[in-house]
């Protein structure tokens, strides 16, 4: 792995574990196994490196979601697959956790990939739900935008509940609850 890649991956992991404030340049350098000069040779500073790491996490989350949304099956089955896919629940969402970091939220550049990830996710969910309506699988009166936002909120809220209790059970209950709600709006 190249030095910039090690720096980005180390920063990505540290942001997930500690947040922006808790991720010092020294911690990044130690995790990446590089010196200060190497870090500043490739990135102008911590904000520049953090932006690259946040974008990487955002891209990975969107790609994982796309795998489920593009998988075989009915639209409801694909959304259920997305909801039920393997996750490191107790670590939380590497993108969603950044919304709790005041320095990320206050910086438009750092916040942008976070916001774009959730916009993209809601858009893809709405598109799959619309497909379900067009195929006659879902109730045509279902508001796809509201439902997409609900599904995204259930995932993020499920992470919070699980972390608060130190158990994956609240997450799984939230997921199964929203799957049941979608199934209740299915026409077949």
Give the domain CATH number at 89: 1.10.357.10
21 DSSP assignment:
T
Q: 3 in helix, strand or coil?
A: helix
Residue 142 lies in a domain: yes
Residue 134 lies in a domain: yes
Distance CA(69)–CA(124), nearest Å, equals 8
Residue 25 lies in a domain: no
Interacting residues of 91 by C-beta distance below 8 A, sequence separation 6+: 16, 17
Walk along the chain (188 residues) and give the pLDDT tens digit of each residue. 899 999 999 999 999 999 999 999 999 999 999 988 888 889 998 999 999 999 999 999 999 999 999 999 999 999 999 999 999 999 999 999 999 999 999 999 999 999 999 999 999 999 999 999 999 999 999 999 999 999 999 999 999 999 999 999 999 999 999 999 999 999 97
Residue 74 lies in a domain: yes
Residue 41 lies in a domain: no
Find the domain containing 95 and state its range: 54-184
Distance CA(135)–CA(133), nearest Å, equals 5
Neighbours of 43 (CB within 10 A): 21
Tally of domains within the chain: 1
- pTM listed for this prediction: 0.92
The CA R_g of the chain, rounded to the nearest whole Å, is 19
**Tokens 């574990």, located at residue:** 17
Residue 13 lies in a domain: no
**Tokens 């799984």, located at residue:** 172
The pair of structure tokens assigned to 70 is 């593009």
Distance CA(60)–CA(56), nearest Å, equals 6
Residue 19 lies in a domain: no
Residue 102 lies in a domain: yes
């Amino acid at each position: 792995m190249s030095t910039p890649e090690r720096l980005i991956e180390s920063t990505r992991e540290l942001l997930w574990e500690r947040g922006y404030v808790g991720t010092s340049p020294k911690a990044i350098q130690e995790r990446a196994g590089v010196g200060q000069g190497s870090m500043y040779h490739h990135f102008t500073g911590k904000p520049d490196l953090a932006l690259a790491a946040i974008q990487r996490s955002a891209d990975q989350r969107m790609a994982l979601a796309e795998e489920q949304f593009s998988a075989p099956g009915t639209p409801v089955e694909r959304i259920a697959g997305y909801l039920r896919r393997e996750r490191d629940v107790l670590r939380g969402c590497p993108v969603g956790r950044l919304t709790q970091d005041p320095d990320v939220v206050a910086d438009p550049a750092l916040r942008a990939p976070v916001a774009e990830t959730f916009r993209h996710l809601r858009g893809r969910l709405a598109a799959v739900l619309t497909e379900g309506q067009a195929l006659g699988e879902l109730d045509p009166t279902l508001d796809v935008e509201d439902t997409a936002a609900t599904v995204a909120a259930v995932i993020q809220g499920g992470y919070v509940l699980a972390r608060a209790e130190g158990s994956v059970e609240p997450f799984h209950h939230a997921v199964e609850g929203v799957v049941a709600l979608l199934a209740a709006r299915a026409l077949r």
